[in-house]
């Protein structure tokens, strides 16, 4: 249950920062997609590197399926830590985009 709560907390915080950043400019729907994607990616990279145990906090218990995730987060990683961080990032990206009602 702890991982579900932490994952939801991270997703909500990242989504809220995106909404806050783009509200003065017409909202998420009017945000330049490249800029929005880079903003979300930066937020996710920060989140995955500040969580003490990304596997326990983000990955464990995620109910989705691997085919829903963007492999670019981890496909070029050479070491297990990078793969775990990449998988955690991909899960957060999927959940944040779903929360913001963006294409996943």
4 has a pLDDT exceeding 80:
no
Tokens of 64: 């989705």
Whether the full predicted model's pTM is greater than 0.85, yes or no, is yes
Given pLDDT bands bounded at 50, 70 and 90, which one contains residue 1?
Answer: low
Would you list the domain boundaries of the chain? 2-99
Give the pLDDT confidence of 24-54 residue by residue, as tens digits: 999 999 999 999 999 999 999 999 999 999 9
The length of the chain in residues reads 104
Distance, CA of 33 to CA of 14 (rounded, Å) = 16
Given pLDDT bands bounded at 50, 70 and 90, which one contains residue 74?
Answer: confident
Give the pLDDT confidence of 75-98 residue by residue, as tens digits: 888 888 899 999 999 999 999 999
């Amino acid at each position: 249950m702890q991982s579900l709560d932490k994952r939801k907390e991270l997703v909500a915080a990242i989504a809220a920062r995106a909404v806050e950043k783009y509200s003065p400019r017409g909202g998420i729907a009017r945000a330049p997609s490249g800029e929005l994607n880079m903003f979300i990616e930066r937020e996710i990279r920060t989140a995955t590197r500040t969580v003490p145990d990304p596997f326990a906090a983000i990955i464990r218990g995620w109910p989705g399926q691997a085919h829903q995730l963007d492999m670019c987060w981890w496909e070029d990683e050479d070491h297990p830590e990078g793969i775990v961080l990449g998988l955690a990032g991909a899960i957060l990206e999927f959940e944040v985009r779903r929360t913001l009602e963006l294409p996943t």
